[in-house]
Structure 1
Amino acid sequence: MDGVFAGLAPARRRLLLAVLGVVVAALVTVGVVALVPRHAAVADQSRPGPVLLVPGYGGSTGSLQQLADRIGATGRDATVVSLPGDGTGDLRASAAVLGDAVRAAIRRTGASSVDVVGYSAGGIVARLWVADGGGAALARRVVTLGSPHHGTELADLAVSVAADPCPEACRQLAGDSDLLRRLNAGDETPAGPTWVSIWTTQDRTVTPPDSARLAGAVNLPVQSVCADASVDHGGLPRSPLVQAMVLAELGAGEPVALTPADCRRLRS
């Protein structure tokens, strides 16, 4: 290198060395940036699109129709997704069906993103779709209702007593299932959508109820908003109060950290 610069005047040599230093620094920066993992960009929170509602274990669409109708009454496009079979099969297959329904809604409405409401096991389906099914690029918001994000003791019991009759989704909802371990490893709320988890402290199906707590989400036990609310697991999608909470979380802008100050308004 010294030979290259030997014939240059001192001032020119210093200038050339400075330029080379800048170039090297730029190349190092580019290399570092290239090594940083790329995450899905957060969807535009100011532009709510169609809403897809995902049923829980058993696949009953009727449990969500009242909530879908209330969302539809606000002018939003709201669809309850029919899960394959009886909704007790592989939750990953249900996530693929959700992905098909999302693409159909986007084609039908021309929207750039969707909101997803997952009830009970439907919240796990929504998370699988975001994590593995391309949902990170298409979801604006994911709201889960009473979802066993960390398993439920009922599934644990079913697996321990009679594993064979326990359907695939039942086994996947056990706290130590491979599916939930993988889904909860690292970031429980990956980039792309914003996340909200709503549940009731009176849940006797998802036990303990805190299994619904999702790291990185806006976490809202119903009773943290209205302390005297009486809502069980099956009543979550039908409760007028919970429906009002869901509507508040589906609005334009960032998710809302509801408090007791909002209770009267939500109940009116």
Structure 2
Amino acid sequence: MGSWTALSPRRRVLVGGVVLAVLAVAVVMGVRAVLPGADDREVAQDRPGPVLLIPGYGGGVGGMRILAERLRQEGRQAELVQLPGDGRGDLREQARTVDRYVADALRGGAPSVDLVGHSAGGVVARLWAQEHGGAGKARRMVTLGSPHHGAELATAGSALGVACPAACQQLVPGSSLLRRLGDDAPERPALMSVWTTRDETVTPPTSSRLNGDAVNVELQSICPSARTDHSQLPSDPQVVGIVLRALGTGPFEAPKSCGPLNS
């Protein structure tokens, strides 16, 4: 006590400020340790939660509805994410929308969520995981024909100006958003990227390949005769089978053979 009173008023203010800062950090760390969805929370792999399906640029959901129905037939809860502006707006805003769906699921008692993103929806899923603590909220993610490194169509659209809204500009190869997102998949949540060599929308199709801990699946490498194009990925029986197995409780790995749903 004597040492404190010996300090000048100015030094007391300085020391008090340091103490308060340390306490604030301790409180924040304590909250992060107990809050569900904190970044360092370990997500149980044997307790699948709801599946959120994120459509691509333009907001088309035909194929995703088919995938959602198949998931429900397997006993999974599946919900389509309604993106603002039909998926043409800022991808960061789309990621914030996904986070609201995730927060609703977790508040409802879900242990975690799984995400499936088609086309640009897969980029949104990765962006959400990176910017919204996905490691502690999502168990597994699957992207289908996603332009993780951008798409040549976006470059062409950007050259036209008015024909390329925010999401299109952000999907130009080398955009600031894609550079920040990086080329590597996170360690958590586990991520599988599936694509088809017959993709004429996301070109080159290998834009879907990720480094790091990603499980990369070129459809024709396991199903050589597959003629699946970009729009057919969410509803193709082989792809649906891949998704269902990836979102199960078994090993998160590339399929070893081509086959329909329950093979």
TM-score, structure 1 normalization? 0.80
- % identity of equivalent residues: 52
- 1:112-149 C-alpha deviation (Å, 9 max, x unpaired): 11100000000011011100022221010010000000
Partner SS state of residue 86, structure 1: helix
**What's the CA shift string for 1:60-92, capped at 9, x where partnerless?**
233311100000111111001000122100011
Aligned counterpart for 1:263 among listed residues 255, 258, 263 = 258
Q: 1:190 is matched with which residue: 162, 186, 199?
A: 186
SS in 2 for 1:254: coil
* Structure-2 change in CA distance of 1:100 and 1:203 (3 Å): same
Cα deviation per residue 1:204-246 (whole Å; 9 max; x = unaligned)? Answer: 0000000000112110011111111110001101111111110
Deviations 1:31-73, CA, capped at 9 Å, x for gaps? xxxxxxx973552212211100000001123331110000011
1:225, 1:102 → 2: CA distance? 32
Partner of 1:82: 82
Residue of structure 2 in register with 1:91 after alignment: 91
Q: Distance in 2 between the 1:119 and 1:196 partners?
A: 12
Note if 1:232 corresponds to 2:229.
Answer: yes
TM-score when normalising by structure 2:
0.81
Q: Report matched runs for 1:12-27 at 5 Å.
A: none
> Residue 86 of structure 2 aligns to a residue in which SS?
coil
Q: Which has the larger radius of gyration?
A: 1
Q: RMSD between aligned alpha carbons?
A: 1.8
Q: Secondary structure at the match of 1:140?
A: strand
C-alpha distance in structure 2 between counterparts of 1:101 and 1:63, whole Å: 20
Structure 2 stretches of 5 or more lacking a match?
1-37
Q: CA deviation at 1:265?
A: 5.5
Moved over 6 A (4+): none
Equivalent-residue separation in structure 2 for 1:60 and 1:265 (angstroms) = 24
Query: 1:139 and 1:121, CA in 2 relative to 1: closer, same or farther beyond 3 A?
Result: same
Q: 2:163 aligns with which of 165, 176, 186?
A: 165
Gap runs ≥5 in structure 1: 1-37
Does the CA contact (< 8 Å) of 2:186 and 2:214 recur in 1? no
Q: Hey, what does 1:156 align to over in structure 2?
A: 155
